[in-house]
Structure formats: structure tokens, C-alpha cells
Amino acid sequence: MTFWKISAVFATLLYAGFAAPFETIYSYLRARFRDEDGAKRAYFSHVGLVGDLIARVVRFPVTSLRLPSDGPVLRSLLRATTRAQLLLLNLFDPVPGVVVRPETEKFGTWVTPQTSSFATATAATSHVMLYFHGGGFVNNSPDACVPLAKQLIRAFNAKAKITNRSDISLSIFLSQYPLCPESSFSNILDDCFEAYKFLLHRGYKNIMVAGDSAGGNIALNLISILKSEYPDLIQPISAVLFCPWVDPFVSILPKNFPREISRNNDVLSLENSRYMASKVASTISSEIVRYKLSPIDWENSKLASSIPEKGILIVYGGGDILRGGLDFFVDKILHTTSPPSLSDSSHLIIKKRYPYVCHDFQIVYLLLFGVAQHTALKAIRDAAEFMFNTAQA
């Protein structure tokens, strides 16, 4: 197995250093001189050469090397990439004053302002975000979300400073949950519910729920479970979903697929999304639980139960393979008429769609430079503003 891991790393490095830059430059030149409808030129104006390059490199192990997303080789590759990112953050931290504290229990990792202590962080008046990482329920870890969490805290607390609300600050708890197929989808939801109860036991009363990709799926399920099954518990005040995996099997394809941007430029391929979804589905034995896996198929009453009191923000890219399902999902929530209270509550559901950018762009582009990073930071600032508004409402 070590041989295959080394081979995968070597092949990816070769591709990243030689083939991917050539492909990006070639694609850019074609966009400049042979793009009849202007779509490719628009793509590069929003993503840039660096954004296109990194998307190709991220796709390469799955689409070209055919590594299974739940396999040990790709998991090791992602762990190594995450460690490298954290090492760079430690050496060149773009967000001073925000620290990472591993939780002594099994539930996850704290990311907090340096001025916060655990004593103040557990005060009933402070705000905490419970964040679930993505990875199709088969891969990844909370560590991959540390750069995003740091930027969210910086943007949130900067907003508090500008508005003279020093009494409001944010800490983020990155939840650790088991992965499929070693564990089951039901166990994942149970562990995430336990993470929520862990925060309640620590004294938090103002809890936001968030997640990216599969983590967004968890966030929706958790809110629905809390509202329908545990109404006496303190409920989340709001939610932020980055590129949520609401349509795991990609039952609704983007318009003009495959003659559009996401077919060859998104970090998440159609085949890989369906592969991961099938792996997760194989761990489900109950139709009730299977229903939870695809929020796009939820009935109106269950959709209504997934919206927190102060609203939900859904962020995704116009180059995301999931955007067809996400457009449909948001419209479905907005046009829900049962319960009646939702029919006049469109202000509770906010959609932010950023043109041409890929799946999980707020993480993929964050440690880059140029227009791609600018888009990622813009999305993070928009999310922080929504979080701040719900925190002080």
C-alpha cells in the first residue's frame, strides 16, 4: 500500500508541476482567442489562472488516477495536503489572534479568538458556530476547515468592532465525526447530535450551525432533528451552508450539461459525487434514514423544520456540479406553503451564488492569491455579515 501512496503523491506532484500549468495556459489562450460565446473568458475573469490550476490538481487523483474517495490512498493524500496547509498557516498565519485548540474529548477542535478563554467561551451570552466538514461522508477531517474557520472569526469580530459591539464575539467548534463505509450514515448523524449536546452542556445558548458540502447536509438534518424530535432543547439560531450536498446523486444536472463549465472544471465530478453517495447509501438499512440523505427530496414540512429561527444562508458557485440541484432546492424552500408561516418568510432564506466558481470554492481558493482568493474571501465576509446580523438580532 505504501508503494501506491508514494506513486499517487509522485504522479500528482508531476501533474501539478508540469501538465496542469500547461493545460491551464492552453485553456486560457483558447478562451482569449477562440471563445465564441465568451463563457470561457468570463470563467477566467472570475477564477483566474491560479484558481483553474488548483481545481485541476484537486480533481486529478480522482478523475485521472481513478483513486476511490473512500480508499486509503486518497485519504492519506488528503491528510498530507491538510498537514501541509496547517504548516504553512503556522509559518505565515494570515489571521493572527485566532488560535486552534484541540478538544480533549472526541467531538472536535476549537478555533477561538486568542483573547477568549474557555471560561469566557462557555458564557451563556457568547456565540459559537458548530461546523461540520465536507468530504462526501467518506473522507476529510475538521483540520481541513481550520483556515476557513479562522477567516470567519476574523470577519465576524471585525464586524463587531466596526459596529462597537465588543460584547459579541464568535468561536467555532469543528466537529469530528466517523466516516463511511466504516461507520453508517445514522451513526454520523448521532455523533453530530452528540456534538451539539456537548456545546449545550458547556453552557452555550447562542449556537449557529454550519457546514460545507456533506457537512451542509448534516447541518440541515441536525436542525430538522432538533426541531421535530427535541423541541424542548435550545435550538440553533441560524445556519450557514457552503455548497451543501443536498442532491448527493446529482439527480438534477446543471443547465446545458455536459456543454458547460462544471463538467471539466469543477473539483467535484458527477461520477465521484454519485460514487460517494452510493457508498453512504450502502450503510443505510432504513427507508426513513435513506430519506434523510437527500434533502432535495424532502417534503415541505421537513424542509420547514430545517430552517432556524433567524434564517439560513446558502452559498455556492456557478461552476458547481451541484448547482442545478441547489437552485431547485432553494426555490423549493422559498415556494414552500406548508406550514403557512413560511409563505411570507423569504427573508429567512438567503441565497448567495458566485459566478463560475467551483464546489467548496471558499476552501479550495482560500490559500491562493488573485481573483480566486478574492472571491473566497468575499463569500466569507458575506457569511460573517449574515452571522453577525443573526447574532445581534
Contact between residue 242 and residue 316 where contact means Cβ atoms under 8 Å apart: yes
Q: Within its chain, how far is the Cα of 192 from the centroid? A: 15
Look-up: residue for cell 461552476? 319
Q: Give the pairing of strands 206-212 and 127-132.
A: parallel
- Provide the β-strand partners of residue 351: 314
Neighbours of 258 (CB within 10 A): 10
Amino acid, res. 144: A
What is the rounded CA–CA span in Å between residue 339 and residue 2? Answer: 55
**Do the Cβ atoms of 273 and 325 come closer than 8 Å?**
no
The active-site residue out of 69, 141, 213, 305 is 213
CA 251 to chain centre: 20
Residue tagged 458540502 (cell numbers) = 213
For this structure, is 343 an active site residue?
no
Strand order in the sheet with 170-175: 98-102, 108-113, 170-175, 127-132, 206-212, 238-242, 312-317, 349-354
Q: Which residues are catalytic?
A: 213
